[in-house]
Structure 1
Amino acid sequence: MFFELAALAYLIDLAFGELPCKHPVVLFGEFISGFERRFYGNRILPGALLVVSLIAVALSLSIALVYVCGLLPGWLELPVLAALASTGLAMNMLHSSVAALLTANNPKQALSYLVSRDTGDMTETEIYKAGLETWAENLSDGVIAPLFYLVLFGLPGIAVYKAINTMDSMIAYKTERYFHFGKTAAIVDDIANYIPARLTALLIAALAEDKRRAWHCLLCDGNKLESPNAGYPIAAMAGALGVALGGDASYHGQIKHKPTLGLPINPVDKSTLTQALKMKTGINLIVLTSLATGILLS
C-alpha cells in the first residue's frame, strides 16, 4: 500500500492544483488522437489495440519514472513521486471549475468546458443541475478513483487509470463513429470505476445532513442510469440535497432520455450548488484521515 505517497500527492493537489507542466492527460490525448488518425476503423479490434497500447505506454513510462526517482536521494524520492502522482488528482481543479458556474458572466459557456452535453438552450436550473451532476460524477473519476489506484499500486496505478479514463472521455461514445471503436475503452473504464464510484457515493451519503434520504436515494436510484457507475454518486448527491437530478439532456443535437434520480423536494439553484461544493471540506477531512490511518497501521 502507498498511503504516504497518496497523502502527500493529495496535499500537493489541494495546495497547488495543476502544476506548470504538460499534463499527462494531454499526452494521453495526443496518443489517442494520433492512433485514431493512423489506425481508425469502427470495429472492435482497432479500438482494443488502442486500449492495450495506451495502457502499455502508461505502465512502461510510470515504471521508468519510479525507477529514476529511486536513484534520487532518499529524502527527495517521495516528494518527487508525489508531485508526479498529484497530476492525476483533480480535486482543486474540479472544485474551482464547477464553482466558476456561480460567478461566470456566461454560465452556459463555462459549463460547456465541463460537459459533453449541449448547453446553448439550457435554463438556469439546467445549468446548475448539470454542475451538480458534474461535481458528483467527477468526484469519482477525478479524485476517488485515481486516489484508490494510487494507494493500491503507486504511480503506475494512477497512470494506468488516467489513461483508461482519458480514452473513455474521448472515444467511448455510442455515436456512429465510435460505437465499435470505443466499446473496449468503455468496458475497461466501467470495470476500473466500479469500486471507486460506489466509494464516492458512500462518501457523499456520509456527508449528507439527511443521511437517511441520501442512503435511500442511493439504494433506489443508483442503478437507474445506462452507465453502471455514474448513477451512484449522482443519486447520492440528489438524496443528500433533496433534489431531482438526471433527466433528458441534449448531446450533439440529439435528445437523450435519461431517468430522474432523487425527488424534487428542493429547487436546484445557485444555493444548491453552493451547498454541494461545501462538501469539499468534509471530503478532504475523510480522505486525509483515512490515509493517515493507513500510514499508522501499515
Structure 2
Amino acid sequence: MFELAALAYLIDIFFGEFRCKHPVVWMGEFISGFEKRFYHDQVLPGALLVISLVVLTLLISSVVVYLCSWLPEELSLIVLALIASTGLAMNMLHASVTEILTTKQPKRALSFLVSRDTDAMTETEIYKAALETWAENLSDGVIAPLFYLVLFGLPGIAVYKAINTMDSMIAYKTGRYFYFGKTAAIVDDIANFLPARLTALLIVLLAKDKRLAWQCLWRDGNKLESPNAGFPIAAMAGALGITLGGEASYHGQLKYKPLLGISVNPVNKTVLAEALAMKTGVNWLVLGLLATGAALT
C-alpha cells in the first residue's frame, strides 16, 4: 500500500481539494440525519451511530476497491489514489492556517479551524491557537489517515475519516453530547493513539533543537485531558521554544489547559510562520518513508 499512499499524498500536496462534494460532507450529512432522527443523550444511540457509519463506510469503500480491481493495474492505482487523497488534508490545513498570517480578519479565519471562542482573543492567543491546531491536525489530517491507508488501503483511510468526522461533530462534553458522543470520542482516541505519537516524533526530527523538542515531548506529552493531542502539541512547543496551552474559552466556558513546552521565544507571527515552514520537511520525510517502504515490499 506504500505506492498508493505516496501517490495519494502527492495528489493532495499538488492539487488539494477537488471541486466536488467531499466524502466527509456525505459522512457529516449521515451523522446529522441520524442525530435528527434517533438522538437521545444516551450511550446506546451514539454507539449505534458509530457502528452504522463505520460499517457503511467500510462496505462502500470495499466495493470501490473491488470495482477498481477490474481496471488495469496502473489505472486502478491512479483511481484509488485520487479517491484516497480526499482523506488527506496537508494542502488545505497549511493553506487554512497560513490565512491567519495574511488575512485582515484572523479571528474569523481561526473560527473555521477551532471549536474555541475567538471573538475576545488577543493576538498572542490567536497565534497560540493556530499553532496548536497546526500541530494537532498534522496528526488528524495527515499522518493518521496515511497510517491507515498504508495498513489497510482505501477502506482504512475511509473508516478513519468516518471516525474522525464523528469525533469533530458529536464528541463534546456538553449537555447535548456528553453520553451520545462518548463512543465516538473513545473510538477516536483509540484510532489516534499511535498516529499522534508518530506525528510528535516527526516534529522532533524536524526541530532545530531536537533535544529540547524531545524533552518537552517526554515531559508534557501526556498532560492534556486528551490522551493524544498533547503529544504533537508538546513536540511543536519544544521545537519552537514556546509555551502552548493555558486558558481558552469553549462554548462560553473558560477552560484551563496545562502549559506545554518552554517559554524561550514569544508566541507571535514569526513563530507561526516558522512552524508552517515545517511543511516542506514533513513532505520530504513522509515521502521518503513511503518510498522506502515501497522499495522494501
Equivalent residue, structure 1, for 2:39: 40
Equivalent residue, structure 1, for 2:106: 107
Gaps in structure 2 of 5+ consecutive residues: none
Gaps in structure 1 of 5+ consecutive residues: none
- 1:83-124 CA distance string (max 9 Å, x none): 000000000000000000000110000000000000000011
1:70 Cα deviation after fit:
1.3
Equivalent residue, structure 2, for 1:67: 66
Q: Secondary structure at the match of 1:259?
A: strand
1:273 Cα deviation after fit:
0.3
1:73 Cα deviation after fit:
2.5
Q: Does 1:225 align with 2:221?
A: no
CA distance in 2, matches of 1:279, 1:19: 24
Equivalent residue, structure 1, for 2:206: 207
Equivalent residue, structure 2, for 1:159: 158
Structure 2 letter corresponding to 1:95: H
Output the aligned Cα RMSD: 0.5
Equivalent residue, structure 2, for 1:22: 21
Structure 2 letter corresponding to 1:84: I
CA distance in 2, matches of 1:108, 1:75: 45
Structure 1 letter corresponding to 2:234: A
What does 1:120-159 correspond to in 2, within 5 Å?
A: 120-159=119-158
Q: Secondary structure at the match of 2:192?
A: helix
- 1:53-107 CA distance string (max 9 Å, x none): 0000110000011111112233311000000000000000000000000001100
Equivalent residue, structure 1, for 2:252: 253
What does 1:225-244 correspond to in 2, within 5 Å?
A: 225-244=224-243
Q: Secondary structure at the match of 2:222?
A: coil
CA distance in 2, matches of 1:218, 1:149: 24
Q: TM-score, normalised by structure 2?
A: 0.99
CA distance in 2, matches of 1:47, 1:120: 31
Q: Secondary structure at the match of 2:144?
A: helix
Equivalent residue, structure 2, for 1:88: 87
Equivalent pairs counted in the alignment come to 297
Structure 2 letter corresponding to 1:144: I
- 1:190-242 CA distance string (max 9 Å, x none): 00000000000000011110111100000000000000000000000000000
1:19 Cα deviation after fit:
1.2
Equivalent residue, structure 2, for 1:53: 52
Q: Does 1:172 align with 2:171?
A: yes
CA distance in 2, matches of 1:219, 1:85: 33
Q: TM-score, normalised by structure 1?
A: 0.99
- 1:152-176 CA distance string (max 9 Å, x none): 0000000000000000000000000
Equivalent residue, structure 1, for 2:117: 118
Identity of aligned residues (%): 74
Equivalent residue, structure 2, for 1:273: 272
**Shift >2 Å, 4+ stretches:** none
